[in-house]
Amino acid sequence: MATLHTVNKSPFQNQTLISCLGHVKDGDSVLLMEDGVYGAMTGNAMSEVVAGMGANVKLFVLGADVSARGIDAGRVAEGITSVNYEEFVGMAASCDRVQNWL
Amino acid sequence: MAAYDVNGTTVEHDEEGYITNLSEWTKELADVISKAENVDMGEEHWAVVNFLRDYYEEYQIAPAVRVLIKSIKKSMGPEVGNNKYMYELFPYGPAKQACKIAGLPKPTGCV
Amino acid sequence: MSIVKKFLYVNRKAPYGTIYAQEALEVVLIGAAFDQDVSMAFLDDGVFQLTKGQDTKEAGLKNFSPTFRALGDYEVTKLYVEQESLDERGLTLDDLQDIQWEDEDDDYAEKPSIIVVSRAGMADVMADQDVVLSF
């Protein structure tokens, strides 16, 4: 039944991440990628919202996009798991559906 | 660009024969296009062409062929509104060819 | 035998600022030929796509809003609209076009296509699909 949601826009550019988080269901996964990874950082205006998602929704970032932007791994919020491309493909293949929040 | 000649006025069309400026359509132009297509326009042909133009006016799209046939079946009955008869009227496709004569773009989804 | 899948087209963008909305509608019309169970979702700025009274003449753009009223002919009869997205934008159902479909099995009775759902209801609709396509 689970959905993999992907978000590729910075939460400071538009409401996409907030909208996504408002539509996830327990058991779903959210993968932040491209500029979406800015939403995974600690100490910014979005951090509380993301941290408030609780344990029923699993949060991931695409590690390559974190490194590309010079974000220190230590700035990625606790509880957000970094994945590589291969793991991303595995997640997409094993969930019931993928919803890309453009 | 190629063009149709309607009593001395030229109306441009694309490489498939669809006119480029939809507002240049006239009944006389329809006669010219239908001759180029070897379609002998009868009452039923005109009914289809008029239906297509009304549909486009209302919804801003040329209907897909199955939508066209379904609608003609409803308005003109199953003797006209069926696949076989509609292809007899417009051998190169009731949506594609009739749209060309009606001065409309190729139906959405037609390749 | 072919398996009918549930397809949801998610619209989250306003109609004219980008090409997304118009492209989505075109994809829906083309995709409708494949006899699947197709529905559309309108949330966030996507609800602006359905407003009535759009007049693009002066802006020099194609007004594709009338095409939403043709969706019923293509058997696309479920347009889910999110209540919270309407509220946030100061819109009500009255601001949207009246979109209907004809039920052939019910003497061509005209039935409303727009289904207003809450945010939680929208999440349920999304979770109930085989394929979700976003625009």
Structural domain boundaries in chain B: 3-101
Partner residue facing C127 (CB), from A25, A100, A102:
A25
User: What ipTM was estimated for this complex?
Assistant: 0.90
CA angle C11, C49, B106 (to 5 degrees): 90
**Confidence band (pLDDT; 50, 70, 90) for A58?**
very high
At residue B110, does pLDDT exceed 70? no
Spatial distance between the Cα atoms of B99 and B34, rounded to a whole number of angstroms? 11
Give me the domain span that covers residue A56.
3-101
At residue C1, does pLDDT exceed 60? no
Query: What local confidence, expressed as pLDDT, does residue A1 receive?
Result: 72
User: Strand pairing of C114-117 and A58-62?
Assistant: unpaired
At residue B111, does pLDDT exceed 60? no
Q: What is the CATH number of domain B3-101?
A: 1.10.10.370
Which of B10-14, B83-87, B104-108, C106-110 is least confident?
Answer: B104-108
- Give long-range contacts, CB 8 A cutoff, 24+ apart: B28-34: B29/B4, B29/B103, B30/B101, B30/B102, B30/B103, B32/B4, B32/B5, B32/B6, B33/B4, B33/B100, B33/B101, B33/B103, B34/B101
Mean residue pLDDT of chain C comes to 95
At residue A72, does pLDDT exceed 60? yes
Cβ neighbours of A93 (radius 10 Å): 9
Spatial distance between the Cα atoms of C135 and C19, rounded to a whole number of angstroms? 9
> What values do phi and psi take at C101, rounded to 5?
-130, 150
Spatial distance between the Cα atoms of C64 and C66, rounded to a whole number of angstroms? 6
The pTM of this model reads: 0.91
Query: What local confidence, expressed as pLDDT, does residue C29 receive?
Result: 94
Is A99 exposed, middle or buried, given 0-12, 13-18 or 19+ CB atoms closer than 10 A? Answer: buried
| pLDDT tens per residue, range C42-91 | 999 999 999 999 999 999 999 999 999 999 999 999 999 999 999 999 99
Sheet holding A80-83, edge to edge: A80-83, A58-62, A29-32, A3-7, A97-101
Q: Please, are residues A5 and A24 in contact by the beta-carbon 8 Å criterion? A: yes
Buried/exposed code over A49-61 (b: 16+ C-beta within 10 A; e: otherwise): ebeeeeeeebbbb
For chain A, what is the domain count? 1
> Which is more confident, B108 or C64?
C64
**Confidence band (pLDDT; 50, 70, 90) for B107?**
confident
User: Strand pairing of B9-12 and C114-117?
Assistant: unpaired
Question: In this structure, which amino acid lies at residue A14?
Answer: N
- For A68, B11, B70, B108, the CA distances from B63, given in Å and listed in that order, are 47, 24, 10, 7
| Residue A57, domain CATH | 3.40.1260.10
**Confidence band (pLDDT; 50, 70, 90) for B109?**
low
| pLDDT tens per residue, range C13-52 | 999 999 999 999 999 999 988 889 999 999 999 999 999 9
C70: chain B residues, CB-CB within 8 Å: 55, 58-59, 61, 63, 67
- For A29, A36, A79, B8, the CA distances from A69, given in Å and listed in that order, are 23, 11, 20, 64
Query: What local confidence, expressed as pLDDT, does residue A3 receive?
Result: 97
Partner residue facing C44 (CB), from A15, A24, A25:
A15
Q: Does A45 touch chain C (CB under 8 A)?
A: no
At residue B43, does pLDDT exceed 60? yes
Spatial distance between the Cα atoms of C5 and C18, rounded to a whole number of angstroms? 29
Contact B61 C70 (CB under 8 A): yes
Contact B59 C70 (CB under 8 A): yes
At residue B55, does pLDDT exceed 90? yes
Spatial distance between the Cα atoms of C47 and C86, rounded to a whole number of angstroms? 7
Two tokens, residue B20: 């480029």
At residue B74, does pLDDT exceed 90? no
Question: How much is the average pLDDT of A63-86?
Answer: 95
Instruction: Kindly state the DSSP code that residue B90 receives in the 8-state scheme.
Output: S
Q: What is the CATH number of domain C6-134?
A: 3.40.1260.10
**Confidence band (pLDDT; 50, 70, 90) for B108?**
confident
A3: chain C residues, CB-CB within 8 Å: 126-127, 132
